[in-house]
Amino acid sequence: MNKSGNIMILGGNGFIGQNLTQYFHANGYTVSVFDLKAPDNPVEGVNYLEGDFFEDANLDRITEGQDTIIHALTTINPSNSNASYMRGYSKDFVQTMKLFDRLTETKGKLLFFSSAGTIYGRYEEGRPFVENDRLRPINHYGSIKLCIETAMRAFNVQQHTHLMACRIANPYGPGQDYRKGVGFIDAVVKAVMNDTTVEIWGDGSIIRDYIYIEDLCRMLEGLVHYDGDLQTFNISTGVGTSQNEIIELFRRLGFNVKVKYLDARTVDAKCNIVSNEKIVGVTGVQCRSLEEGIKAYLRYLNMI
């Protein structure tokens, strides 16, 4: 594989963005990062640009000379989108349309970070979601992602752009801020490190698809070099794991995990698993098991 090319990462200060920056730079790409400010620990050799994505004047800085743009910027998340949805539609959606319009001139490729966890809606029992399933988001975060994906397809057909949607499952691993306990695996890590209790909404049977961050980076690298007609990819393992199973995995590794079960929340889907057959077929990237990934993460944290 020819590991050359100019890559711009929008939102490079986040968990995924920082990992992508390190990964692509280490593998010989020319990497630029755009965010409100440069990170506290910049990667030597990476070009950091500071600015506001929502100022139109910055669109030329973002796109000029770039072969691939990775769009990881968002102003909302699933937990606050029902309170802040107007910001999502008026800012995230509208400015992304302006970015797409700019790419009709530069002809650069774009990988847009969509959401595997919210865009499909309620789980269809019996099998993982596949990319051509009916999309029925139940919150505004998923709805905004769907709006952008729909417009993306129109740009590809009418303006012959090369825009792709990456429906990312639940990433975990080095670089995630375990001190905040965001995401269930990091919540367990935080509890173990601080000898506190993991709080679980419901009986622990909620199932999610967890992907190790390096596997996610490898899959996205494959899409950087993909020139086919497919436009939408699940970035996932295709394997579901319950919260109770994760707790038991940590216990098998020797950790005393304390758990408190709370009343279930109606906002939590019981199960969300997404097939990765399409991305594996295009890139050949195979994901490590959850146990392998958690062990790698714990070794990184010097916990095992």
Question: What percent of the chain is predicted at pLDDT more than 70?
Answer: 95
In the DSSP assignment, the letter for residue 234 is: E
Mean pLDDT of 222-241: 96
The mean of the pLDDT values for the chain is 93
For the purposes of burial, counting CB atoms within 10 Å of the CB of 89, is it exposed (0-12), middle (13-18) or buried (19 or more)?
A: middle
Question: What percent of the chain is predicted at pLDDT more than 90?
Answer: 84
Q: Going by C-beta distance under 8 Å and a sequence separation of 6 or more, which residues neighbour residue 260?
A: 197, 198, 199, 200
pLDDT over 70 (residue 266) = yes
Per-residue pLDDT tens over the stretch 140-152:
999 999 999 999 9
Q: What are phi and psi of 41, to 5 degrees?
A: -120, 75
pLDDT over 50 (residue 27) = yes
Q: Which residue has the higher pLDDT, 77 or 92?
A: 92
Q: Which residue has the higher pLDDT, 225 or 181?
A: 225
Q: Which residue has the higher pLDDT, 270 or 159?
A: 159
Beta 30-35 vs 47-50: how paired, if at all?
parallel
CA–CA separation, 258 and 271 (whole Å): 23
Q: How far is CA 36 from the centre of its chain?
A: 19
Tell me which of 19-28, 50-59, 80-89, 248-257 is least confident. Answer: 80-89
CA–CA separation, 7 and 271 (whole Å): 35
Domains of the chain: 6-172+210-236 (3.40.50.720)
Q: How far is CA 110 from the centre of its chain?
A: 15
Does residue 68 contact residue 49 with C-beta atoms inside 8 Å? no
pLDDT over 50 (residue 121) = yes
Does residue 169 contact residue 117 with C-beta atoms inside 8 Å? yes
pLDDT at residue number 268:
77
